[in-house]
Structure 1
Amino acid sequence: MNTLHGFAAVYLLSMSMGAQAQPVYTAEACCKLCPQAAQATFYEPPELKNYATLVEAKDQWLFRTRSDFRTDFGLDDSGYRALKRLRDGLAQRGVELVLVMPPSRGLLHADRLTPLELATFDPARARQNYVQTLDRVRDLGIQVADFSDLLGAPQPAGQPFYFKGDHNWTPYGADRSAQLVAQTLEGSDVLKALPHQTFTSQTAGLLGRSGTLQKAAAQICGNGYPAQYVSRYQTRAQGNAKGPAKVALIGTSASGELFNFAGFLEQYLETPVRNFSVPGGGYDDSLIAYLLGDDFQKDPPAVLVWETDNLDSLGKSSFYRQAMAALSDGCENQTPLLRSQANLHSGRNQVLFNGGGGNVYPIKGSRYQVDLRFADPGVHMMNATLTYMNGRQENISLSRSPTVNTQGRFAFELRGDGDWDDQTFLSMDVQPPPGMNATSLSTRLCVKPAITAAPSLRTAQTEEN
């Protein structure tokens, strides 16, 4: 009894105190970035290197200072020359290249930045350089979607171009980009020649997105961000089933099914589109794999829409050495000067030698290309050493995203920059892929087809009328 009475007394006392002074609660704002997010060392893991350095702006918008606050765009002179060579090679195959390079997240959503971020980012300079880059690419004879009218324009309420915590655009961003592609080709003969079909896009529920920037922040800080929900869309052909496509799409994850970019292209171009983008494959690896495949080689499209998130990879000579060799299907249509079939063992394996049988060919520079095919179609990395007559060597390492179907095949031009074009090829050694001690490899070296400058298909067809 005494115990019960004591318990009751304590309870009544606490109730009396509670009546006199209400408890005070404090709440911290959700999902703030931790101090570690500002430290470069936390971005050293490979999966985080593209997210340096995260900052949080208004309304929990996340930005990457290195990528989203960039003010320089485009390529150097050699990069633009290489891009034009790729465009000319596609034109020789009857393919009109259309480049889609949307503005950076910081440039398009500068209104979400606080004075702290704007102190280290110059939107005016970024805009000027971005527009100049589009003009420079357009001067190469490449059709480029014009995003300049979106810069500085207010975004519709609840319809941002990009997700607040993801590097990808929203379905609205994909929709607007598809409209700009259609405006770029509007009235052109190449568009008029495409098979006509009507498509409609309709909402198909909601798309919840826990963005890549949000996931990176969670990995560094341990706290998460709420998913952002936007309308999801699907595009369907009206009437008959979808017809054969003469428009091909290659792009980043933004061109994936989730955002319906291919569907919006069908709606505004009024023609079927086939999407060859590979999730996680990137616009560079996906393009190389597409050019090497039967879909392109046996039935090239009339229009190739190439969606990129920037031109950085296009400044690398290794990309063009592969893309140009892939464009001509390696040595499939050429008589090889050198060839071999070898079972690789651990260590270095000589697979090509210029001088076998007493024949020494004047193999110099980028007029020649190498075509390798591993028996294992799952190989995604190739390491080789090329030796020249004067003893100079080049170590070349090519890798593709694990999501890309390589068919075990790699093709690349011999090096032609600087004085490499004057070096005479002697031999090539190959090492087995990592983790693989033995596999079969077919190797060929051949002359590559000549690429001549070609006018824009759009211009050429207009002039003929």
Structure 2
Amino acid sequence: MNKFAPIFSVLTFLLSVTGAGVSQAADNGLPKYAAEPCCQLCPEAQKTSAEVALKEGSAGWLFAATERATNAEPLTTPERAFLLKLLVQELAQKGTTVMLVMPPSRTLMYADHQLSKGAAAETTKEYLQTLSFFRQAGFLVPAYERLQPTVSGSAEPFFFKRDIHWTSSGAMQTAQLAAADIRKLALFEHQPEQRFETTAQGVLKISGLLNNQSQTLCGGQRYPLEFTPHFVTKAVDEATTTSADDIWLIGSSQSVENRFNFNGFLQQSLSRKVSNYTPDDGNSSVGWTKLLASEAFQTKPPKLILWELPYEHRKLSASQLRQMIALVNNGCESYPTLEQKTQVFKGNNLNDVIFGANLLKTHPSQLIFDLKLSDPSIEQLLLTVWYSDGGKSDFQIRKNSQLTDSGRFSFVLGNVEMRQPRFFVSLDLALPGAARGKTTINASVCHFPDNLLQTAGR
């Protein structure tokens, strides 16, 4: 059971006015009040479906019941490893290095509130394996396991007790750790120095995602709100040399501007400008797609991108990675075209979208597909790729509903299994629903330079 002591004198006033609470006569004749426990997670919240079930920790902590089970899923599949390596190599060809920002999960950092020693040890092992996996793919990954549940001299926890986000204290500690490693990079010295100042401006009031779930599942019962200082960082002088825009941040809802000030803490720790490209809704998948397709990236890519990716979101979908890789160089806009074809949908199936003798000479994992549909509302493509050995592979390419303004799907196939020499023959395409009216598709195919595939471990 969780106990919370009253912290505002106004609470005593309200209790005396309403008569709530239990009173006793004190020696001085004034009433004396004792606070009752405010909350205990109801059984319904712990027995509901796995997607929304909660579990109660000690000292007022709430956790998602599925966090431990999710952590147990495998991460290091050959397909994911190949796609991550290829993404890093494509970005490197543009002169861009990627640093991963991935602190331990709430489940791990506060294991003492809800995990047995054996479960905590296994969770720690899985987390360290995850960091190692990203390092092997070519990401810069600081030693985030050194982050602490609280910062020295501060009573504020790294994460909120009943919300999935870090506090301002957690954001500050992570920024300082990442900045220490950035300062060691050769690219750092070439960035113009600029002084920044951080000040506290009020507090952020956090209801908490897990708290809101508890309220819904437990008939309106909710835990107390939580608070964190609201910090704002501003430049106090101009850069010492011509202004540069060479360090970018893209992240989750934890990195959204004017929330937990992660970007501000980075700038103050580095004394360098960091441009924040995190979308307002914190959807980094959408953010990456918009960033890579932007004129700013295509004409002057940054030297360093910090990717703030919560540990719970580490299993990036193959669909997302395939599209990100293709968009680094704007699909087939930057490479020689091998085949190009325009067709019209009939119903929701289209066979032999791409078929050509030139493709039989190129390894399938080298191919980049750039499809442009006249109907911008289409969000998902179901693809079947046929190979020269008679085999096939099925996969889907899905776009976020926020990105359906162009009707463009750019993607790569990935690491095609080579039981024997096999080459691309044709691509069939289907839609989950029938196309609306006359839908035209313009399909182009190009290929990567050989050196990229060799580096990625084809």
Q: Same fold (TM over 0.5)?
A: yes
Residue aligning to 2:354: 353
Identity of aligned residues (%): 29
Residue aligning to 1:30: 38
Shift of 1:34: 2.0
Alpha carbons of 1:30 and 1:311: their partners in 2 closer, same or farther (altered >3 Å)? closer
Residue aligning to 2:21: none
Aligned length: 417
Alpha carbons of 1:390 and 1:81: their partners in 2 closer, same or farther (altered >3 Å)? closer
Residue aligning to 1:230: 228
- 97-106 vs 397-406, greater mean Cα deviation: 397-406
Cα offsets for 1:185-219 (capped at 9, x unmatched): 22322111112211112112211112222222233
Shift of 1:283: 3.7
Residue aligning to 1:94: 95
Cα offsets for 1:385-427 (capped at 9, x unmatched): 4344565444332223334577432211125332387143223
Residue aligning to 1:410: 409
Give matches, 1:120-135, under 5 Å. 122-135=119-132
Match of 2:159 among 159, 162, 175: 162
- 161-170 vs 136-145, greater mean Cα deviation: 136-145
- 207-216 vs 418-427, greater mean Cα deviation: 418-427
Alpha carbons of 1:202 and 1:454: their partners in 2 closer, same or farther (altered >3 Å)? farther
Asked if 1 retains the 8 angstrom alpha-carbon contact of 2:250 and 2:284, the reply is yes
Instruction: Please state if 1:198 is matched with 2:206.
Output: no
Residue aligning to 1:60: 60
Alpha carbons of 1:392 and 1:148: their partners in 2 closer, same or farther (altered >3 Å)? closer
Residue aligning to 2:171: 174
Alpha carbons of 1:406 and 1:382: their partners in 2 closer, same or farther (altered >3 Å)? farther
Shift of 1:153: 6.3
Cα offsets for 1:109-160 (capped at 9, x unmatched): 234x1xxx33486223333443354345445553213223224667755411
- 203-212 vs 292-301, greater mean Cα deviation: 292-301
Shift of 1:243: 4.2
Q: Matches of 2:381 and 2:171 in 1, distance apart?
A: 35
Q: Indicate the structure (1 or 2) with the bigger Cα radius of gyration.
A: 1
Q: CA RMSD in A?
A: 3.4
Asked if 2 retains the 8 angstrom alpha-carbon contact of 1:68 and 1:105, the reply is no
Instruction: Please state if 1:110 is matched with 2:108.
Output: no
SS in 1 for 2:401: coil
Shift of 1:282: 3.9
Q: Matches of 1:436 and 1:172 in 2, distance apart?
A: 50
Shift of 1:331: 0.6
Alpha carbons of 1:132 and 1:370: their partners in 2 closer, same or farther (altered >3 Å)? closer
State the one-letter code of the partner of 1:161. Answer: F
Q: Matches of 1:229 and 1:239 in 2, distance apart?
A: 31
Shift of 1:66: 2.6
Q: Matches of 1:125 and 1:291 in 2, distance apart?
A: 37
Asked if 1 retains the 8 angstrom alpha-carbon contact of 2:68 and 2:107, the reply is yes
Cα offsets for 1:26-61 (capped at 9, x unmatched): 9974343221222253x4xxxxx3x4x411222321
Q: Matches of 1:192 and 1:444 in 2, distance apart?
A: 41
Residue aligning to 1:369: 368
Q: Matches of 1:196 and 1:188 in 2, distance apart?
A: 15
Q: Matches of 2:98 and 2:379 in 1, distance apart?
A: 27
Q: Matches of 1:247 and 1:390 in 2, distance apart?
A: 46
Instruction: Please state if 1:422 is matched with 2:422.
Output: yes
Cα offsets for 1:418-464 (capped at 9, x unmatched): 23871432233243767845544332111223416779xxxxxxxxx
Asked if 2 retains the 8 angstrom alpha-carbon contact of 1:400 and 1:406, the reply is no
Asked if 1 retains the 8 angstrom alpha-carbon contact of 2:338 and 2:359, the reply is no
Alpha carbons of 1:109 and 1:359: their partners in 2 closer, same or farther (altered >3 Å)? closer
Residue aligning to 1:255: 255
Shift of 1:236: 1.0
Residue aligning to 1:149: 146
Q: Matches of 1:73 and 1:156 in 2, distance apart?
A: 37
SS in 2 for 1:291: helix
Runs of 5+ unmatched residues, structure 2 = 1-32
Q: Matches of 1:198 and 1:362 in 2, distance apart?
A: 55
State the one-letter code of the partner of 2:40. Answer: K
Residue aligning to 2:381: 382
Q: Matches of 1:161 and 1:68 in 2, distance apart?
A: 19
Residue aligning to 1:207: 204
Give matches, 1:196-345, under 5 Å. 196-223=193-220, 224-240=222-238, 243-257=243-257, 258-280=259-281, 282-310=283-311, 313-314=314-315, 316-345=317-346
Alpha carbons of 1:132 and 1:437: their partners in 2 closer, same or farther (altered >3 Å)? same
Q: Matches of 1:205 and 1:434 in 2, distance apart?
A: 53
Alpha carbons of 1:304 and 1:72: their partners in 2 closer, same or farther (altered >3 Å)? same
- 199-208 vs 151-160, greater mean Cα deviation: 151-160
State the one-letter code of the partner of 1:231. Answer: P
TM-score normalized with structure 2 length: 0.79
Asked if 1 retains the 8 angstrom alpha-carbon contact of 2:99 and 2:305, the reply is yes
State the one-letter code of the partner of 1:256. Answer: V
